[in-house]
Amino acid sequence: MDIVITKHAIIRYRERLFDFNSSEQEVIKFLKDVAIKGKLVCIKPNDYDNCTEVRYQGISVVLIRECGRVFVITCLGDLRYRKWIKKQKPLQIPKSGI
């Protein structure tokens, strides 16, 4: 199975797991493991019914299956991060007096 890890997924992995020390190759290897070994969490809505969320070792990623390849398009983080982020209030941008 050909697995493609997007740059976006790598960036989100680092941000959401607070892992800025692992090499890019280590992150790519882990995200590929999640794609291969992960259990289906849910099917994400899209026009082609090819988008899923999978979880492995507590880390969730979103995959798109297309043309015999799997694309890891983002990393959603672990359950603690996801629970925390849902409790955060949206950023309020002040209106300018223009």
State whether residue 24 is helix, strand or coil: helix
DSSP annotation string for 43-82: EEP-TTS-EEEEEETTEEEEEEEETTEEEEEEEEEEHHHH
Residue 72 CA to residue 86 CA, distance in Å, equals: 22
| Residue-wise pLDDT tens digits, 28-84 | 999 999 999 999 888 887 767 789 999 999 999 999 999 899 999 999 988 887 777
- The pTM assigned to this predicted structure is 0.80
CA 54 to chain CA centroid, nearest Å: 9
Tell me the two tokens of residue 13. Answer: 């992995």
